[in-house]
Every structure is written in structure tokens, then in C-alpha cells.
Structure 1
């Protein structure tokens, strides 16, 4: 394949643009914010699960408190009714004895219920503190997630802008390249990640390996417009006065 030496040298500019695009793509894939977001999202899920757990426990205790309050109210109403009957006129001795016995039973029942109510209210106070703590923890986790997301989005926006500029530069650099030369360059770039590199002091700047004597002799004998390749990595080698030929 033949190509004007000046055109071959322009491949180095194209290769640098492509290298920058590769670096930008690598940076996009490996932003530290990606790992931070994974951790932050996990922290938010954990905080949400914990909040649901303590809120559910608090709800269960609230229902127990309301149930006991209803039971206490029922006992008090029954006690009030029995007291009215006991102090009322026309009550017999047996009925009075029965009412007194029932009042004693109701008093014991009320005492048990009030003790249970007090215990559950203490539990509810403790779980209330857990709810407040869990809500604060979730808010903190969500805030951190929001901050990391903002940093990630800002970094991606910067990369997008840089990529747009580099792609524009690439489009502007393409005209003037022979189709066969460009095809050969793109093929090497797809295979090796680099399409063309400078030969500097007998060393390929793509693979960084020094060419042996045979390869150097062949390159020295090749016409200036001959498109040559590195025997080690296969990229198009661009020769210059500093190639050491």
C-alpha cells in the first residue's frame, strides 16, 4: 500500500485523537463515583429496610397500646357500673357480694392492664427513638447518594463535552486520507487498540519494542511512500528523521 509520507504523518494526529477518546471512555467506565454510588445505594436500601422494620414495630406497639386502652376503658366502665349498682337502692346481700367480688376482679384486671400498658409505652418510647434515628440515618444516606450522583453526573458531563470535542476533531481530520489507508488504520486500531505509531530511534511507540536488524533493514529499504507495519504489534509505523533508519 502506498501513501504520501505527509499523509502517513497525519495518521499520528488521528491516532492521538483516538487515544484521547480511548482514555475518556476508560475514565467514564472507571469513575470512582461508580463504586461510591454502589455503596451509597446499598446504604440507602439498608437504611430504608431498617426504617420499615422499626416503623412496623412501632405500629405494632401502637396497636397494642390502643387495644389495652380499650380494655382499660371497658374495665373502668364496668367498675363504674358495678359501683353504681352496689350503692343503689334495693340490692340484695348476695348480689352485693357478687358485685364486690367482681369489683375486686376488675381492680386486679385493671392493675394488670395498666402494668402492661406502662411496659408497652416504655417499649414504644424506646422504639420511637429508634424510628427517629433511622429516619435521620436514611436522610443522611440519601443526602450522600444525592451528592455522589451530582459528582458523577458532573464528571460524565465533562467527559461528554471532551468526547464531543475530540469526535469533532476526528471528523475534521478524516478528509484527505485515502480510503485504503484509513481502512487499514481502523482495522489495526480495532485489533490492537492503536492504529498507527511513530517509529522513534528504532522503537515502535505503540508496543515500545525495539525492532531487530532485519526489520530495520527492510524499513530502510522501503520507499518513503510505502505503508509499513511494526513486526511486533502490527500497527502502521510512521517514519521520520528520528526513526533511526
Structure 2
């Protein structure tokens, strides 16, 4: 594991217990609804085997299983603290929790009908490798659906950036009890690829039918894409 990946791992281990509360506060209660939208995209084409990467506390994994109760869902993360919270949360029927690094997935080619993730891509050290791994483990025609943060654009972008730099670290100090972790969240979001640049990376990985839906003044995006048949 690279040094930067170890740092990210330690960051998420440290905020696991308050992760859901902070996500709810930072999105004004919208986070779970967005996760359901991700699940709807992922399961819309049917299928019975799904992988939720960077599963965290398992919000998207549970939403996927809720959309398709007969499915088998693996919730994978490289933060053991996050996985422990996920295991202790109600509604885990049909979900298997597993430690995994998104850069080197321990699954066979074409193992899943759909892959989901939330806030994964801005936290990885090799984005192209992570997308290639998702492409590899999908069946032909399989779907990737993701919630990802994004640097704000448009006329309000300067004001949104200021708000993020002030509000999120303050919440991280008072509620999350880890200012540095939430300062990292702000920095990694503002320093991440624009939607146009990220679309290109999906295309370079081989995905087609790439779609993106803006949320929360452009600071969050719901992505969907398909592996060609």
C-alpha cells in the first residue's frame, strides 16, 4: 500500500463512528437519498451480484439490497473501523462485508452485475487503475454507479468554496472531533478533477453511456456508466 493510501486509511479509521452524522450534516440530510439514487441506477438493469466499494458504514450497500432484495451484495472497504461500524448496523441481510483495496480487487473477472461506490475516486492514489479494476470485475453490460464529490463550478463557485473551507472543518472540529480529517475532505474535493475531466477518465477506462447528475450546487455528482456488451 502506498504512503498516501495509508494516510487516507488512517483518516477514515479515525472518523468512522461519526461518519454518517457528519455526512448528513454536510449535505443537509440529503446523503441517504443520494445513496438510494446510486442504488437505483446500479440495479435498474437487473442482475443479482453487486459490489459496493468504499462502502464505509454500508449506506449504499444496504440501499442496493433494498432495491433488489434477492441479490448478493459485497460491501468492501480498506478501513477496518468503517467495516466494523457497518457490521454493527441493522439491515445487513444479504450483505457480506469484506476488506479490500480498490486498486487490487480480490475478485474474478466479470464477477458482478453492478459496482457502486461513494466518495471513492477522490481518495485513491491511482484513479486509472481503480477504474480499470471496476471495469474488469463487471460483466459485459454491467453498470458502475457512484456518488462523488466535485469542485464547484459556475458563478457561485467562489462563494461555495469559501463556505466549504469554513463550515466543514468547523463541523469536523465540533461534531466529528477531528478537524484535520475534514480539512482533508475539503482539500481533496476542491483539488479533484472537474466533471469533464473525470468523464474522460471513465471513457479511457472503456466505459460507455456515461451520465452525471449534479447535486448540492455542484459539490456532489451521481455518476453512472456501463461496460460494453
Taking structure 1 as the reference length, the TM-score comes to 0.15
- The higher-RCO structure (CA 8 Å, 6+ apart) is 1
Larger radius of gyration: 1
Higher strand fraction: Structure 1 or Structure 2?
A: 2
Higher helix fraction: Structure 1 or Structure 2?
A: 1
